[in-house]
Chain A
Amino acid sequence: MITMTHYLVLSAGLFCIGLYVILAKQNAVQILIGIELMLNAAILNLVAFSRFDKLNNSGQTFALFAIVLAAASTAVALAIILNVYRRYRTIDPGKVNQLKD
Chain B
Amino acid sequence: MSLVTVMFYLMAIIALGSALYVAASKNLVRSVFMFFVTLFALAGLYVLCLADFVAVTQVVVYVGGILVLILFAFMLSGRESLAGLQQSKNRLFAVQNLPAFLLVTLFFVVLVNIVIMAGVDNLPWLKQAEKMHNVIQPADVTINNLGVNLMTTYLLPFEAISILLLMALVGAAHLARKEEAL
A residues apposed to B, CB below 8 Å: 1-10, 12-21, 23-24, 26-27, 29-30, 32-33, 36-37, 40, 43-44, 47-48, 50-65, 67-76, 78-83, 85-86, 89-92
Contacts and interface: CB of A to CB of B under 8 A. Distances in A.
Contact of B146 (A2, A37, A60, A76): A60
Contacts of B20: 17
A10 to B, nearest CB: 5
Most buried by B among A2, A43, A59, A75: A75
B81 to A, nearest CB: 6
Contacts of A29: 28, 32, 70, 73-74, 77-78
Given A68-B161, A75-B172, A9 B112 contact: yes
Query: 7 closest Cβ contacts across the A-B interface?
Result: A72-B168, A23-B100, A79-B175, A85-B77, A12-B111, A75-B172, A79-B176
A78 B28 contact: no
Interface string B125-143: 1100110001110001010
Interface of B, helix, strand, loop or mixed by DSSP: helix
Given A14-B16, A92-B81, 4 more contacts: A4-B121, A17-B16, A37-B19, A60-B54
Contacts of A12: 108, 111-112, 115
A71 B65 contact: yes
Contact of A53 (B32, B134, B173): B134
A27 B131 CA distance: 50
